[in-house]
């Protein structure tokens, strides 16, 4: 045999062992069956053929000499020859099989849970609203589609999930979940050529006009909430937390994450890092507010989270579960009194209700907006550096007075009795 030449002879172990680097041995019995010795010294068996559909010459690797015998390679070559005779393309089929295997591996790795984990780490951690995004995933997405492969998701899967969220938590929450999942899937598409998001336009459950909530609680609804909280048997901190949302007109996480390090004397300063307008928000602490936040953990701590189920170590976070239980108590109260069910409401409605009560109490509109942490814009924002603490204190006291009147309407049960035998200052 001459180096570099293609030699013809039956491919046997003896002839294969005689090959030198660069030599190719073409089998006399099975056309296209060859053995070639690589520069590395290894001998590879293969089958060469021309694809009848495209006319392209193909090479199908059959294995390395030593891993399989010459006779085993011959059997594989005969099988490939039969496939080619049937107008099949063994190489293409092999490539397709590898692609499917790779896709299967990706599917096993890239579950919805895995994508959400990566998205949270890369995009959500550190955001002011990060906890809300994670909670939406935990409560509404992961239990329903978390174990599914992202490559198997269909539009109908997303629609079914959103319908379930709408039924359980309302259409607004369904649209929030949709927005969060859309962002996560769009993020995945930027780094995954194989993934196409199943989310399309038209999946929202509300219109933009509907999402701009205007819901405020009526006096009867406020009394029902307070009464239900007095009958509460869940986490002890929850009634104080819910009441603080109205008394201090705060957003959910602003109260939930209240830490004693934010309290100094009769002032509560919510730091800019966790306030919506990214500015410190100072709330004068009224006696009513003080009764809600004046709590100490049983363990020895120098500082703590005021609303906590872990003895002050961590802030309260079981919002969804607790809200469901609160709604059940309210429904029970109304049913016992033969009144219609309370319309769907959210914790944030308490903040909006507090602002409305300030208007009823004739609080100056600018002072009321400052109590909510809203910035008075224009030139005044630039030049007016007065803190308005006395005015804000008076506004919060007016709110507490209005709330006392609601909880103690003329001719009805006293506010103290409505509040479980406590004074109104312990609202």
Q: Are 361 and 379 in a shared domain?
A: yes
Residue 102 lies in a domain: no
Domain boundary among 185, 211, 237: 211
Q: Are 297 and 401 in a shared domain?
A: yes
Distance, CA of 231 to CA of 326 (rounded, Å): 9
Q: Are 277 and 144 in a shared domain?
A: no
Residue 37 lies in a domain: yes
- Lookup result for tokens 């590879």: 44
> Each residue of 4-38: pLDDT tens digit?
578 899 999 999 999 998 899 999 989 999 999 99
What are the Cα distances from residue 362, in Å, to 365, 398, 402, 424?
8, 8, 10, 21
Q: Are 337 and 383 in a shared domain?
A: yes
- Domain count for the chain: 3
Indicate the average pLDDT of the chain. 88
Q: Which CATH number characterizes residue 421's domain?
A: 1.10.443.10
Q: Are 152 and 30 in a shared domain?
A: no
Q: Are 295 and 259 in a shared domain?
A: yes
Q: Are 266 and 167 in a shared domain?
A: no
Query: Please, which pLDDT band fits residue 241 given cuts at 50, 70 and 90?
Result: very high
Query: Please, which pLDDT band fits residue 417 given cuts at 50, 70 and 90?
Result: very low
Q: Which CATH number characterizes residue 38's domain?
A: 3.30.160.390
Q: Name, in order, each residue with C-beta under 8 angstroms of 4's C-beta and a sequence gap of 6 or more.
A: 22, 23
Q: Residue 153 corresponds to which tokens in the numbers above?
A: 């998701």
Residue 178 lies in a domain: yes
Torsion of the alpha carbons at 16, 20, 24 and 27, rounded to the nearest 10? -20
From 199, 194, 186, 184, select the one nearest 114 (Cα to Cα).
Answer: 184
pLDDT of residue 419: 46
Q: Are 308 and 419 in a shared domain?
A: yes
Query: Please, which pLDDT band fits residue 104 given cuts at 50, 70 and 90?
Result: low
Q: Residue 179 corresponds to which tokens in the numbers above?
A: 């927005």
Q: Are 307 and 391 in a shared domain?
A: yes
Residue 158 lies in a domain: yes
Residue 103 lies in a domain: no
Q: Which CATH number characterizes residue 132's domain?
A: 1.10.150.130
Residue 91 lies in a domain: yes
| C-alpha dihedral sign at 80, 86, 87, 89 | negative
Give the HSE-up count for residue 180: Cα atoms under 13 Å, Cβ half-sphere. 28
Answer whether residue 2 shows pLDDT above 70. no
Q: Are 180 and 252 in a shared domain?
A: no
Residue 240 lies in a domain: yes
Q: Are 233 and 176 in a shared domain?
A: no
Distance, CA of 271 to CA of 261 (rounded, Å): 10
- Lookup result for tokens 């005044």: 380
Residue 105 lies in a domain: no
> Each residue of 305-349: pLDDT tens digit?
999 999 999 999 889 899 999 999 999 999 999 999 999 999 999
Domain boundary among 156, 186, 211: 211
Q: Are 196 and 253 in a shared domain?
A: no
Q: What's the mean pLDDT in 116-143? A: 89
Domain boundary among 211, 231, 252: 211
pTM (predicted TM-score): 0.57
What are the Cα distances from residue 72, in Å, to 29, 81, 91?
14, 14, 19
Domain hosting residue 185, numbered range: 110-211
């Amino acid at each position: 045999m001459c180096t570099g030449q293609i030699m013809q002879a039956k491919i046997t172990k003896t002839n294969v062992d005689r090959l030198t680097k660069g030599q190719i041995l073409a089998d006399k019995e099975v056309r296209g069956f060859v053995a070639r010795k690589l520069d590395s010294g290894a001998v590879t068996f293969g089958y060469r053929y021309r694809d009848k559909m495209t006319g392209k010459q193909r090479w199908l690797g059959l294995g390395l000499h030593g891993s399989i015998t010459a006779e085993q390679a011959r059997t594989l070559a005969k099988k490939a020859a039969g496939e080619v005779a049937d107008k099949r393309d063994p190489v293409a089929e092999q490539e397709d099989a590898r692609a499917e295997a790779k896709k299967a591996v990706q599917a096993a790795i890239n579950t919805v849970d895995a994508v959400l984990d990566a998205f949270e780490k890369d995009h959500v951690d550190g955001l002011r609203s990060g906890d809300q995004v994670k909670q939406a995933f935990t409560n509404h997405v992961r239990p329903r589609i978390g174990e599914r492969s992202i490559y198997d998701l269909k539009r109908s899967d997303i629609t079914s999930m959103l319908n379930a969220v709408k039924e359980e938590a309302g259409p607004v929450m369904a649209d929030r979940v949709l927005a969060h999942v859309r962002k996560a899937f769009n993020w995945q598409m930027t780094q995954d050529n194989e993934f196409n998001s199943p989310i399309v336009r038209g999946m929202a459950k509300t219109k933009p006009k509907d999402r701009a909530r205007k819901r405020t609680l009526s006096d009867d609804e406020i009394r029902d909430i307070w009464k239900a909280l007095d009958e509460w048997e869940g986490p002890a901190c929850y009634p104080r937390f819910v009441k603080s949302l109205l008394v201090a007109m705060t957003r959910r996480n602003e109260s939930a994450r209240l830490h004693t390090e934010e309290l100094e004397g009769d002032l509560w300063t919510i730091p800019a890092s966790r306030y919506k307008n990214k500015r410190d928000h100072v709330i004068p602490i009224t006696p009513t507010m003080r009764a809600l936040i004046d709590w100490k953990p049983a363990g020895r701590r120098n500082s703590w989270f005021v609303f906590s189920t872990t003895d002050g170590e961590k802030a309260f976070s079981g919002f969804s579960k607790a809200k469901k239980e609160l709604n059940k108590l309210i429904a029970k109260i109304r049913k016992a009194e033969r009144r219609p069910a309370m319309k769907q409401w959210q914790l944030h409605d308490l903040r909006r209700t507090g602002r409305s009560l300030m208007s009823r109490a004739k609080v100056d509109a600018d002072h009321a907006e400052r109590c909510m942490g809203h910035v008075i814009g224009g030139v005044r924002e630039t030049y007016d550096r007065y803190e308005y603490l006395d005015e804000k204190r008076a506004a919060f006291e007016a709110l507490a007075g209005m709330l006392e009147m609601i909880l103690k309407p003329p001719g009805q049960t006293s506010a103290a009795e409505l509040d479980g035998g406590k004074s109104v200052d312990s609202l």
